[in-house]
Structure 1
Amino acid sequence: MLEVTATATRSRQSSQLLGHGTLRENVKAMQESNKPMWRKPILIGGLGLSAALWAWSSLQDALWQTGEFGVLSLAAVGTGAWWLQQQSRRVPTPAATPVDRAALERELARVRAAIAQLQAEVPHADTAVWEGQLAQLPQTLERQKLRVAIAGGAGTGRAHLAQVLANEPIKAAIDIAETATPLVGTDDDAATRATVLAADLVVFLIHGDLTASEWDCMTFLRGERQRVLLALDRQDRFLPEERAAIWQQVRDRVCPTLDAADLVAIASAPAPVKVRRHADDGTVGEWLEQTAPDLIALRNRLQQLVATEQSQLVLAAAWRQARAIGADIKAQLNRARRERALPVIQNYQWLSAAAAFATPVASLDLLATAAINAQLVADLGAMYCQDFSWQQAQTAAGALGRLMAQLGLVELTTQAVAGLLKGNALTYAAGGLVQGVSAAYLTRLAGLSLIAYFEEQELPAGGELQGDRLQKHLQAIGEQTRRAAIFQDFVRGVAQQLQARAAAPAS
């Protein structure tokens, strides 16, 4: 039977992205799965039909002289065309509504359900900390002071504004924390994001029109239902007409996202003013005199929010805290599910490789691969609590094929595999080897993309697959797995196993 010798240089990332075991191990794992292979109707039906058509095609070779890429594109495009058209017509998600007590209760119920799901899937998981945090959340609604975070980029004067506000009468009604602007789209600034999202209110400091990073950050905060006061600082540094132009520019840009009342102009650290005094004896004295900060607009808005919206702001903060707890639970659940899902993908990638390698006719190995990928969709969906019917799994698998064809992944993969195998004349000459290795890679790519897609879904999962999000994961994982060392290691390992399988005597 077959074995693959792992190289000493294979990294942990390589084994997760493009792992492969022996055919014996994978067949055994498949047989020991929760549902035996004979009870997988999509897989058995597709493979059976492929075998029947292969027997017929041996007598009708002339009818199957279609180019490999033409048939591949036709099979992928035809199955998923309607599904992707429907996805492209989706209406954008409406803006988030303000958080009320009912919304908080729904979020708490969702987190409790996530804890129960984790306990069911990972019995040894320790959920005591999360349960304790969840139990304390209702007590936070009784807070008498608003938690205010002052955020902004480097050099915006966050610390100074916090010091100035600490001497204002409004300090009796708020607790102030100064923090940097959280970076969006990275994991390097998790602590800053946590601080900002834990606040009831964020005062966001800018000095002019928003930069791209400031806009991204503010949009992120609003998406998390975080109330933001946008403070346009250093107003004393501009001439009156410049001040008016900058104000209007910022207002036009942010008011679709912010309430107009939440944009305020301040001068937290006015520049010193030159004072000149003429004495009676004719001498002239000059000095710089520091003027008082101008925080009237910010102070008034804070007082108004404390008086009229404090309870709603506190509710929203509790809602975000519940979501943060849910995100931690989801991360642990995803790790456990991924550990179970990777061997399943590995099993199906070998089935795809064997089917394509054993069936020289491109159209027939595509039929077998489509059946395998449809069953893969169904099995992974079940692992992530997103069950698919027989028809839904077939449609989703066809849509995956269409996306791969649109992104050029099919042709790119086949060309890359052929290029690597050409170096060995005997290897390259083996019939069906390029198709077998390519099918294994594309099945693994589909499986890893589905895992990434399911992992970002809200708990509990549900609903149809969204083509745009699935495409994003296909592109990202395709780029990762096509890195030279990882891809070469995978191609050689699969090729060796397929060649050994072909050389082994029939049992």
Structure 2
Amino acid sequence: MNPPVPLAKLLPVPKDLTGRLALAGGGLFLGQWFLGDLLHVPGGGLGVLLTGAGVWWLSRGSTPPRFQEPASLQGWIARCREVLDQFETLEPDGGVRRQQLDAVVQRSGPQRLALVCVDPATCPQQGELEQALAGAAPLTLSVARPLASAEGARTWPTVLQEQELILFSLAAPLLAEDLLWIQQLPEDQPTWLLVRSTAGESDRHCSESLLAQLPARWVDRVLVQRPDGLLRDVLQPLRRQLGAPIRNLQDTRQRLLRGLHQQWQADLEQVRRRRFQALQQRTQWIVAASVLASPLPSLDLLAVAVANGLMLREMGTLWGTDLQPDVLREAAGQLARAALAQGVVEWSSQMLLGLAKLDGGSWLVAGTMQAISAAYLTRVVGRSMADWLALNAGVDALDLERLKREAPVLVAKAAEQERLDWGGFMKQSQQWLLHATS
């Protein structure tokens, strides 16, 4: 059997009347094939027209809104409170997360600076460092324990994320272990590298050789100390940064709020997925029941479209988005087309036909097979939509153009996950059918 032809090559998303007519025509052909050749269900022109109308409805263009990551401290506070409100709606936690938020919002000075190293021999003495930084601004200086890997894994200590600045002390030339630890430094953690050069090596030569080994983020962030040089002179750029305590403290609060937001979004996503699984199962059997009970096979796709529309609306509420119905419809249309192009319905139908051959008195008659295939399609599209909403839940800008490019990947991933649970899905199908026909 030839593999299904991707619809994206034949049926591009329409941008004008001509494109919509072309897509509608493709929908007519697809509907005739779906009802007649694949499922062997008799249907007249009404079913074909409804199929084309459904594809037309899903393909109407829209102008998506844009979500921007907060650029200010107040914006992050407001965003975190929105996430907490969503959390408490789904799963109250007794105010623990609000206490975490208050601790960050109320965080105040003095500034905190941590001296970090891999080899303690490369670190300046604490008294020498305190004297070199004296007078810049009120400062709390702490010396962290030497960084050490645990079972070969290098993990940046989370406690260091609360520091306004990190001073990472090293010795030239950098060792492979030094470079591996530098790679673990969070991108948003303000850090300076204090590198002790070898005797007789010029500052310029040492800086150039270091920057050749380091990513671009370390340009103007490397402080070279000669064995006979004064540490206070070397740390002058760091002293200038410490001279803006208000900005540094605000940047730290904003960075910590971003970290809380990411952690809470991950926790919230787990709660949403549990709720979504219940919604997914309920919707798929509503779809299956509608398809099985429909007196006219030509009305089956209409029932599928209505049930999936209700599911997508509940998913928008579950993920806390204020997306307009036309935006959800456009996204669902992209995912549905990708699912059809990858042969999701064809694969499920073939699997059902294989099961029917194994059981001569099988309950997999035409109407039942069509109902279960529709339920399986609902599962794949629903999971794809859940993955897309998770990627765009108040963090990144919602981009439908990007969805058009990523829809095949989202659907392929969702279909693969659903295929892994095909046995469980079939057990649910049998239980549903026994209940529906009893």
| Deviation of the 1:329 alpha carbon | 4.8
The DSSP-based 3-state class of the residue aligned with 2:285 is: helix
Q: Which amino acid aligns with 2:44?
A: Q
Determine whether 1:126 maps to 2:94.
yes
- Contact 2:211 2:218 (C-alpha < 8 Å) held by counterparts: no
**Equivalent of 1:430 in 365, 370, 374:** 365
Q: Which amino acid aligns with 2:192?
A: L
Select between 342-351 and 327-336 the one with higher mean Cα deviation: 327-336
Q: Decide whether aligned partners of structure 1 residues 493 and 131 sit closer, same or farther in structure 2, where only a CA change above 3 A counts.
A: closer
Determine whether 1:481 maps to 2:424.
no
Q: Which amino acid aligns with 1:260?
A: V
| Deviation of the 1:165 alpha carbon | 6.0
Q: Decide whether aligned partners of structure 1 residues 458 and 488 sit closer, same or farther in structure 2, where only a CA change above 3 A counts.
A: closer
Q: Which residue of 2 aligns with 1:262?
A: 221
**Equivalent of 1:249 in 194, 212, 217:** 212
**Equivalent of 1:177 in 144, 152, 158:** 144
Determine whether 1:400 maps to 2:335.
yes
Q: Which residue of 1 aligns with 2:161?
A: 197
| Deviation of the 1:59 alpha carbon | 6.8
| Deviation of the 1:314 alpha carbon | 2.0
Q: Which residue of 2 aligns with 1:111?
A: 80
Q: Deviations over 1:317-373 (max 9, x none)?
A: 111223344445545554554444332221111122234455699875444323322
Matches within 5 A, 1:46-61: 60=44
Q: Deviations over 1:23-72 (max 9, x none)?
A: xxxxxxxxxxxxxxxxxxxxxxxxxxx9xxx9xx95737996x9xxxx99
Q: Which residue of 2 aligns with 1:286?
A: none
- Which gives a bigger RCO, structure 1 or 2 (Cα 8 Å, sep 6+)? 1
Distance in 2, matches of 1:399 and 1:104, equals 36
Distance in 1, matches of 2:363 and 2:200, equals 72
Q: Which residue of 1 aligns with 2:250?
A: 315
Distance in 2, matches of 1:175 and 1:212, equals 23
| Deviation of the 1:382 alpha carbon | 2.1
Q: Decide whether aligned partners of structure 1 residues 132 and 352 sit closer, same or farther in structure 2, where only a CA change above 3 A counts.
A: closer
Q: Which residue of 2 aligns with 1:27?
A: none
TM-score normalised per structure 2: 0.65
- Contact 2:332 2:385 (C-alpha < 8 Å) held by counterparts: no
Q: Which residue of 1 aligns with 2:317?
A: 382
| Deviation of the 1:417 alpha carbon | 4.8
Q: Which residue of 2 aligns with 1:146?
A: 112
Q: Deviations over 1:368-415 (max 9, x none)?
A: 323322221112112333245443443232122123245554544444
- Contact 1:337 1:383 (C-alpha < 8 Å) held by counterparts: yes
Distance in 2, matches of 1:130 and 1:62, equals 55
- Contact 2:291 2:300 (C-alpha < 8 Å) held by counterparts: yes
User: Identity over aligned residues, as a percent?
Assistant: 19
The DSSP-based 3-state class of the residue aligned with 2:191 is: strand
Q: Deviations over 1:146-171 (max 9, x none)?
A: 333637xxxxx255545656753347
- Contact 2:319 2:393 (C-alpha < 8 Å) held by counterparts: no
| Deviation of the 1:81 alpha carbon | 5.8
Q: Deviations over 1:435-485 (max 9, x none)?
A: 3333222312333343344345455999666616766654444433322xx
Distance in 1, matches of 2:419 and 2:363, equals 20
The DSSP-based 3-state class of the residue aligned with 1:229 is: strand
| Deviation of the 1:249 alpha carbon | 3.3
The DSSP-based 3-state class of the residue aligned with 1:140 is: coil
Distance in 1, matches of 2:67 and 2:182, equals 20
Select between 166-175 and 208-217 the one with higher mean Cα deviation: 208-217
Instruction: Output the aligned Cα RMSD.
Output: 5.2
The DSSP-based 3-state class of the residue aligned with 2:144 is: strand
Distance in 2, matches of 1:311 and 1:436, equals 63
Q: Decide whether aligned partners of structure 1 residues 378 and 212 sit closer, same or farther in structure 2, where only a CA change above 3 A counts.
A: farther
Determine whether 1:391 maps to 2:326.
yes
Q: Decide whether aligned partners of structure 1 residues 443 and 214 sit closer, same or farther in structure 2, where only a CA change above 3 A counts.
A: farther
Q: Decide whether aligned partners of structure 1 residues 460 and 93 sit closer, same or farther in structure 2, where only a CA change above 3 A counts.
A: closer
TM-score normalised per structure 1: 0.58
Q: Deviations over 1:85-141 (max 9, x none)?
A: x88xx99989x96xxxxx11222233334444444555x5411x4444444445533
Q: Decide whether aligned partners of structure 1 residues 105 and 440 sit closer, same or farther in structure 2, where only a CA change above 3 A counts.
A: same
Distance in 2, matches of 1:92 and 1:119, equals 22
Q: Which residue of 1 aligns with 2:277?
A: 342
The DSSP-based 3-state class of the residue aligned with 1:141 is: coil
| Deviation of the 1:488 alpha carbon | 1.4
| Deviation of the 1:200 alpha carbon | 1.7
Q: Decide whether aligned partners of structure 1 residues 250 and 481 sit closer, same or farther in structure 2, where only a CA change above 3 A counts.
A: same
Q: Deviations over 1:248-302 (max 9, x none)?
A: 5346x51xxx3731244568xxxxxxxxxxxxxxxxxxxxxxx789978963443
- Contact 2:380 2:414 (C-alpha < 8 Å) held by counterparts: yes
Select between 349-358 and 464-473 the one with higher mean Cα deviation: 464-473
| Deviation of the 1:204 alpha carbon | 6.0
Distance in 2, matches of 1:75 and 1:196, equals 58
Q: Which amino acid aligns with 2:94?
A: D
Distance in 2, matches of 1:230 and 1:407, equals 51
Q: How many correspondences in the alignment?
A: 386
- Contact 1:80 1:397 (C-alpha < 8 Å) held by counterparts: yes
- Contact 1:357 1:432 (C-alpha < 8 Å) held by counterparts: yes
Matches within 5 A, 1:69-468: 103-120=72-89, 122=91, 125-127=93-95, 129-137=96-104, 139-143=106-110, 145-148=111-114, 150=116, 157=118, 159-162=120-123, 167-168=128-129, 169-170=131-132, 173=139, 174-178=141-145, 192=156, 194-203=158-167, 207=174, 217=184, 221-222=186-187, 225-229=188-192, 236=198, 246-247=209-210, 249-250=212-213, 253-254=215-216, 258=217, 260-264=219-223, 299-307=235-243, 309-327=244-262, 329-330=264-265, 333-357=268-292, 365-405=300-340, 409-419=344-354, 422-427=357-362, 430-459=365-394, 467=403
Distance in 2, matches of 1:247 and 1:58, equals 74
Q: Which runs of 5+ in 1 are unaligned?
A: 1-49, 98-102, 152-156, 268-290
